[in-house]
Structures are given as structure tokens and as C-alpha cells.
A and B are shown apart, each in its own frame.
Chain A
Amino acid sequence: MSGTGFSGTSGSPTAPRGAASAGAPTLPPGARSRVFQGLTAAAARGRFELQQCAHCQAVQYPPREACHRCLSTELPWTLQTGAGELIAQTTLYHSHEAFFSARTPWRVGLIRLDCGPSAVTHVHAAVGGAPARVRIVARLDRSAQAVLIAVPDTAAVTVIEDGKLAEILLPAGG
């Protein structure tokens, strides 16, 4: 299954915007834990970093207060290649948040990173159906929080090329 209703979309969606067009602009969910801010700080600099245990080297995601393997609390944020595989995907036709329900259908993937953990991500329109090799990049969404995006593992794909994704992100340099 490739992202039905997603591929080929670019620019502003033509579908009714629902709450988004009625009044105040909506935002994607902005609540995150304090530890998660490490990911956001790196994404603000265009980097995809995850906690890597200084003691046993385990890479983990979602961010934690301690290493899930050895319980060390020394967890420096470490640059990752983001290489992995899209192992499953879905296209949402329903969302609990107005920001996304105005933008359905919306594609979501589950990526198994080569460095270990699995990550739920947005999926770039140029990524084929599962299974597919991908690279994860971290960007700031319109709530100025990091989100992960699976892009094709071929070089030089910028997120902005996918208009629908670009629309949920903070403008570059913003």
C-alpha cells in the first residue's frame, strides 16, 4: 500500500480546511516532555540526534530519563545518520486534532532505525510503500517542536519538496 491520496499532492491542499479556515490558525500538538527538548534543540540546528548511552552505547527513542538497557543516566545527544527501513505505514483519514483533520489524508510510518529503535514518523511523498529504505530527518513543526520525517534514502531530497509536509513545518530559518 502506498500512501493513497497522498502522493502527488503539492502546494496547499484544496480540500476544505475545516477549523483551520474558520478562524484562528490551528497548531500541531505541542506538548512534549522536558527531556524531549534535546531532540528539538538539535532539530533547530538541522540535526537528527538521539540519546546514546555513555555507558553501554545503546541508542534509544523515544527519549528517556535513563538508559533502557543499563539504567545509566548519562545520555548524551548524539548525531545519527537516520538510516532505516519503513516497515509499516498507514494513511489517516481521521484525526483527533483540528490541525490534522484539516489535512487528511495524512501518511504516517513506522521506521526501524539501523541504530536500533523504532520511530513513528511523518512520511515524505516520495517514499514508496513499505518495506522501503528511508532516512529520518528531524525538523521543527509549527509548534516549534521536533518531528521526525522519513525521506527517501537517495540523497538530496529536501522536505520542502513535499508541499504538504512543508506546510506543517516552521519555515526554514524561522
Chain B
Amino acid sequence: MSAFAHSHVRPARRRRAVTARRQRYTHAVVTTPVTVPYVRYSNHGAHWFAARALAGLLEGSGLDKADVDGLCLSSFTLAPDTAVGVTQHLGLSLRWLDHIPMGGAAGVVALRRAARAVQAGDAQVVACVAADTHQPDTLRTTVAAFSRFTQDAVYPYGAGGPNASFALLTSYYMRSYGAKREDFGKLCIAQRSNALSFPHALLREPLTLEQYLAARPIAEPLCLFDCVMPCAGGEGFLVMRPERARDLGLKSVSILGTLERHNAFPEDPIQMRGGWGLDREALFAEAGVRHEQVDFLQTYDDYPVISLLQIEDLGFCAKGEGPHFVRSHTFTHDGTFPHNTSGGQLSVGQAGAAGGYLGLTEAVRQLTGAVLGSAVRDARIGLVSGFGMINYDRGLCCAATLLAREES
């Protein structure tokens, strides 16, 4: 081996790391949750849904387009554009711009980025938007070229897409921890019950356990109701300084803490835990909150097994105790452990990257008394979790935030 070949790999110099103390999110709040109504298929492009979301944010806040000086955008269907093209497409002159290709983690990550930009004064008002269209071949083309690793090493094996990936995780989880299909069914049914009053849910008929169990198989052990229904739609919210929100008369929520972790536990043979576990103690400590104070949890739920992983890894029960936890709670908005109170993606639909915002906009509504569906009584603190991007055999992006009702 020549010295040249490895000149880039220098022996690590052991130095004491200087770590900066994380700042609290004291000068940024989240406000104006907006949903662009979902449709199963749309002839509009992703830009249309982004435009509708932005218009909703302006209408909801009373701000002028020129007042928005920051944009955080997520989408799977903007190609060949990115957020850059959207500035010209929608006539925005910005001094702060971010494009977050993190799917199911996009909402929480956008909130983190935007809050720091506002806190530092790099932007005054950041519009966070996720928007996607859905046409008959959208899912296939998205999945076929989702990442280099899936193209090389997953898609050629039956082209099952995320259904196949989550089927593998689900079967392993069932074998390892004794989960039954009924346990996953209970989560799906509770979410459907929550969705019955949520106006944007595409699936708003009651779901019974019998229907759940009898549904056609998609990728064993997953059947139809375990899998999100892809659709088109958009979600958005604004991040600004608290005094600005007050001046505008906007209800807002404060950010108690956040976490973000990518590619955690890469040596695990299969994903039975996500990055939340590495950082949850810091998250709760930063927020000064105990688990029993959390009034509701919004997980990223493209398949029910991943909700169980989040419940475990966020510390609501130990690893492997998810099935017991499921059997001990109702998960309805009016029951014990309110979870995915809008119905989650499994009932509302998965509007691409907007699926990564759904829990956040719902949490802000719950904490500002502006629910569209059913309210969690006296909700003061909510936890929103994100999970995104099956780059190969597992989801790489994990994120979470603790949000609190603003005390007036």
C-alpha cells in the first residue's frame, strides 16, 4: 500500500473534544399549521401543492409574501427542480433557503433548521413546506430510483419498494418480540377511529379487526391496512419569533427540545432500533419534561411496526415491550396514550414528504386549540417523531421534538 493511497487517513490525534452547550429554542415558535387537502391522484405538479401551502400560510398569518424571507422545502416529486427552482417559480426573494430530502423526518428537521435561523436572526419568518403530487406511475418511478443502494441492491429483488423493506422488519420484530398481527391491527384501528372526524383523511370508514385481518396480503406479513396509501397533498407551518407571532395575533407553540440522528447503529444486522434511543435522554432533559407529562405522541407511521419502534426508542417502554404496551393502551384521542390523533398516514394518506409533516401540523393544532378533528383534552405537551428514508435496508433519518402550548 503506498503512503499516497492513504494520505487521507491520518492517525487520529487524541484531543479533548470541546463541546458547545446546546442552546434552548428560546426565540422561535411554530405557528399557522396548514394542510392542502389530500387527493388520491392529481394532475398538478408538486409546485402547485407548494404554492397552495404557501398561500395558506400567508392567509392564515396575515403576512405578505414579501414578509417571508426563509423557506424550508421538502418534496419527492419536484424534479428536476429543488427548492431553488421553487423560489423563482413562486416569485419568492429569500435570504435563507433549505431543501430537506429527509422524507418522514422532514417536518421535525425543518422545524429545527428554521428555529435556529430565526433565533440567530438569519431569517425573520421561515415558511416550512412539504408538498408532493401523485400520479399513477409516481410511486414506481420514485421507488425505482429512490437511492443508489436501493437501485443496486433492493429494487431488482421483486420491486416491492418500502412494502418489502417493512415486511422484513415486521416479520423479524414479530419473531423477536412476540408481536401478533392483532397488535399492529390495534394501532391501525385506533388511528382509523381518530381519523373518523379528521376532514383531510382519505380513509374515513371505521376499520374492524376482522377487516384488518382479512385484508389481502401485500408483502407477508403485511396486508393492505398495514400499508400507507400514497396520495397528493401538502403541509406547512411558519417559524418566527414569539413576539412577531403575538403581534400578528397568531397562536403558537414553543419548542422544548429536539433530536436528530442519521444512520444510527449501522452494525445492527436489521433495524430493530432507531436513532431516537441515542438522544432521547438528552431530549427530555433539554425539555425538562418527564414521559408521563407527554399528552400525546405523533409517530411517523407508514407501517405500524415503525410506530412501535418509536414508542420503544423514545422511552415509553423498553425494547421489545411494544406488544405489551399496545395491549395496555387504547391510542385513541380520548383514551390512554393518544397517538396519531389525526388518523396518521395510515388513515389520512401519505402525500410524499408531507407525510413527514403530518404529525407536526396535527401537534400544533392540538396544542393551540385549533384541532380539525378530535381534541386531546387539556393537551399541554406533545411529542412528534419523524422517521425517513429507507436508503437500503433501514430508515436512516430519525428526529423528534417536544412541543408545548404557549402559556398566555
Contact = CB atoms under 8 A, between A and B. Distances in A.
B152 A90 contact: no
A72 B152 CA distance: 21
B153 A88 contact: no
B152 A32 contact: yes
Interface string A102-124: 00111011101000001111100
Interface in A45-67: 54-55, 61-63
Interface stretch (B156-164, B236-244, B290-298): B156-164
A29 B1 contact: no
Given A4-B220, A130-B175, A33 B152 contact: yes
A156 interface: no
Contacts, number: 140
A89 B161 CA distance: 14
A108 B269 contact: no
Interface string A1-37: 1001000000000000000000000001111110010
B144 A92 contact: no
A92 B270 contact: no
A141 B143 contact: no
Interface stretch (B15-23, B165-173, B323-331): B165-173
Given A92-B158, A130-B171, A63 B220 contact: no
B44 interface: no
A94 B153 contact: no
A157 interface: no
A29 B159 contact: yes
A79 interface: no
Contacts of B266: 68
B171 A96 contact: no
A87 B393 contact: no
B5 A74 contact: yes
Interface stretch (B26-34, B66-74, B211-219, B352-360): B211-219
A92 B160 contact: yes
A72 B143 contact: no
A95 B158 contact: yes
B9 A28 contact: no
B149 interface: yes
B158 A93 contact: no
A93 B392 CA distance: 21
Contact of B167 (A70, A90, A100, A141): A90
Of A63, A88, A93, A104, which is in contact with the most chain B CB atoms at under 10 Å from its CB? A88
Contacts of B392: 62, 120
B377 interface: no
B92 interface: no
A108 B164 contact: yes
B143 A62 contact: no
A91 B9 CA distance: 43
Given A95-B159, A95-B160, A62 B270 contact: no
B140 to A, nearest CB: 4
A97 interface: yes
Interface in B190-224: 216-222
B14 interface: no
A90 to B, nearest CB: 4
B163 A94 contact: yes
B164 A90 contact: yes
A160 interface: no
A45 B9 CA distance: 34
B135 interface: no
A129 to B, nearest CB: 9
Contacts of B175: 88, 130
Nearest to A101: B159
B232 interface: no
B148 A33 contact: yes
6 contacts: A73-B5, A91-B220, A93-B220, A94-B160, A122-B157, A147-B157
Interface of A: 1, 4, 28-33, 36, 54-55, 61-63, 68, 70-74, 87-97, 99-100, 104-106, 108-110, 112, 118-122, 130, 141, 143, 145, 147
Given A97-B159, A106-B160, A122-B158, 17 more contacts: A1-B220, A4-B220, A29-B159, A31-B155, A32-B152, A54-B1, A55-B6, A63-B152, A68-B266, A89-B168, A90-B171, A92-B219, A93-B216, A96-B159, A100-B159, A100-B160, A112-B269
